Amino acid sequence: NAGVTQTPKFRVLKTGQSMTLLCAQDMNHEYMYWYRQDPGMGLRLIHYSVGEGTTAKGEVPDGYNVSRLKKQNFLLGLESAAPSQTSVYFCASSLYPPWDNYGYTFGSGTRLTVV
């Protein structure tokens, strides 16, 4: 099993460009999450999904949109990239909610630089 796969692994964008980060999981997990991690900081939740066709805002949702059209995929979109969105983005999934499971499975991250 591949677990949680994130593509791309690295990307450089110019300010104002758009892009989509793809997260795919093959564990039939119900719940999926997008986090960002800035240097010297912990992870902050951007958006999450509690099942196919659902999305919800996390702690820092501004400037991002998400979609969960298929259970196995969770897409994170940047419509108009800004330098403040330079970060490492992690996707995670879990079979059960955060308070009732044996932890999330995280992807290896996407390192995004906006110039």
Partner 1 sequence: DAKTTQPTSMDCAEGRAANLPCNHSTISGNEYVYWYRQIHSQGPQYIIHGLKNNETNEMASLIITEDRKSSTLILPHATLRDTAVYYCIAITSGTYKYIFGTGTRLKVLA
User: HSE-up of 54 (CA within 13 Å, CB side)?
Assistant: 10
Sign for the pseudo-dihedral over CA of 107, 109, 110, 112: positive
CA dist 35 and 24 (Å) reads 15
Among 59, 82, 113, 115, which residue interacts with partner 1 (rule: CB under 8 A)? 59
User: Is residue 40 a contact residue for partner 1 (CB under 8 A)?
Assistant: yes
User: Is residue 107 a contact residue for partner 1 (CB under 8 A)?
Assistant: yes
User: Is residue 1 a contact residue for partner 1 (CB under 8 A)?
Assistant: no
Instruction: Go through the chain and tell me how many residues it has.
Output: 115
CA dist 61 and 44 (Å) reads 10
User: Is residue 10 a contact residue for partner 1 (CB under 8 A)?
Assistant: no
Which stretch, 7-15, 38-46, 66-74, 77-85, contacts partner 1 (CB under 8 A)?
38-46
* Interaction site with partner 1 (CB under 8 A): 4, 33, 35, 40-45, 48, 50, 56, 58-59, 88, 90, 92, 97-100, 102-109
